[in-house]
Amino acid sequence: MSFLKTLRAAACVLALGLVATSVRTETVVATDTGALGGVGEGAVTAFLGVPYAAPPLGPLRWRPPQAPAPWTGVRAARDFAPACMQKGVSMPGEAPPRVSEDCLYLNVWTPARHADRPAAVMVFIHGGGFSNGATAMPLYWGDRLARKGVVVVSAGYRLGPFGYLAHPELSRESVDGASGDYGLMDQIAALRWVQRNIGAFGGDPSRVTIFGQSAGAMSVSLLVASPQARGLFQRAIAQSGGMFEPLELAPGYRLPQAERDGVAYATSVGAKSLAELRSMPAEALLGGKANAVGHPVIGPSVLPLSPYQAYVEGRQAWVPILIGYNADEARSLADVSQITAASYKAALDHTWGPLPPSIVGAYPFTTDAGAKAARLDLERDLRFGWDMWAWARLQAGASRPVWLYRFAQTPPFPAGSPRAGWGASHFAELWYVFDHLDQEPWAWSAADRRLADLMSSYWVNFAKTGDPNGPGLPAWPAFDKAARRLLVLIGQPVVGTVANPDQLHAFDATYDAVRGTAFGAAAKP
């Protein structure tokens, strides 16, 4: 067996919390659709590939998720289900997942039972730009968090055109007169499954935390804004993602333009009607202008308001929130190797189109090296930093608790690997949050291991109590708009402040001008 296969086999054992020489035992749990047989030993039991909705095939393509069919006997829950339809991967260096349109399944990791009180629940929403991602990715396995006394759930959801297509014919057949957001409906259906069933796994349905990274974090911001998700979770964690920019700058996220984009997409794949779209093979639907219909839609059904507007009107979920971003977010996403001071503007326009001069000018440079650094800093804040800064202020302005972090630890990504030179980049915190350093044979330091234990403990404490602080952990002060305090997550975390408020205020001023109102105007206490 090759080294890679040996490592993967060992990781599979790790996922279930097992020792290679131990005897696996089956644990049977009854759900509202039938009995499940999970596998485990000692500290953790895993239930994999659990259906939470009917396969969205044929006439169920582009419809809200339907209830899964019940079964008799004990259904084996030992293997991950395929990921939802997609092309490519969600993270450089990731193995391409097995995919299928039949993909609405979730996974549950449960700790050893304790009779005194049900365990808090953490529901993970994977990232991937709403177009990629898989719950079977080893990095996302919940075994290590479960060892700290929480039940962990991860759920697949429809992606790309399968998850977010808006189209006039779809809107006409909907009782709400809207279309799109099927992937978000899937996430809500999974949370409803948790409410109905998690007690049978030892979980507490009154202590559910949703947590996600990148597009998963954006999904968290949407769930906080969605009235359909109200009451399905009591806390929220978002890692590097939110949706708080003005919709005036993204008209495709509003239903009228999204429907027009959907018509153009249908034409691009050779379909003249919804019936033809539903009859096409799943693989064919990943072509054409799929990227134009692979994002959430603000409309009258699932998302009547954007997250920003929900906060302004005081119609968001009133739950504690833990959010943050990484110091070097853009290093894993933007190639700046060829950027010079002379080519900076053309390269930026090629990627983003003309950006407001007030924002571009907030990241000055004079040298080629400075141009590279400016581009990385601008992309960090444009994609992630400003959203987290805005979200923290909106949450604090609503007099609700919020803890903000900046992840600044550089993992030991090996030279020559797809992750070499990433620094504290997008994705980098995931190994620490899930306490999964041992999944990679890298030169982890004692500081890395300490930080993984601390971060996973902060996340678990927050899920248990609504506050990340706990015995033996460095104090993490709540964010407030005056002090702007956050926790810098490094080998030995330290309390700091928002690093570049002047640059972030440049976004505020630009977005205020677009909206025609000051940031957070009319927000209710």
d(CA 496, CA 500): 12
- 44, β-bridge pairs: 41, 111
d(CA 224, CA 230): 8
Q: Identify how many contiguous H helices and E strands the chain contains and give both numbers.
A: 16, 13
Q: Pick the catalytic residue from 426, 436, 440, 456.
A: 426
Told to judge if 313 belongs to the known catalytic residues of this protein, a careful annotator would answer: no
Told to judge if 426 belongs to the known catalytic residues of this protein, a careful annotator would answer: yes
d(CA 221, CA 391): 9
Q: Which residue has the tokens 């700091």?
A: 496
- CA 293 vs. chain centroid, Å, equals 19
Beta strands in 374-460 (DSSP E): 402-407
- 325, β-bridge pairs: 406
d(CA 302, CA 188): 10
Q: Pick the catalytic residue from 90, 171, 214, 332.
A: 214
Judge contact between 491 and 450, C-beta under 8 A: yes
Read off the amino acid at residue 100: S
d(CA 234, CA 466): 8
d(CA 422, CA 419): 6
Other C-beta atoms closer than 10 Å to the C-beta of 516 total 9
Indicate the DSSP class of residue 201: G
Told to judge if 167 belongs to the known catalytic residues of this protein, a careful annotator would answer: no
HSE-CB for 525 with a 13 A CA cutoff: 0
Burial of 89 (0-12, 13-18, 19+ CB in 10 A): middle
Residues in the chain: 525
Q: Pick the catalytic residue from 329, 379, 429, 440.
A: 329
3-state secondary structure of 157: coil
Q: Which residue has the tokens 């189109």?
A: 353
Residue 519's nearest CA partner among 356, 379, 393 is 393
The maximal CA–CA distance of the chain, rounded, in angstroms, is: 70
Judge contact between 252 and 220, C-beta under 8 A: no
Judge contact between 323 and 404, C-beta under 8 A: yes
Helix axes 368-380, 344-352, angle to 10 degrees: 20
Helix H or strand E encompassing 51 = strand 44-51
Indicate which residues carry an active-site annotation: 214, 329, 426
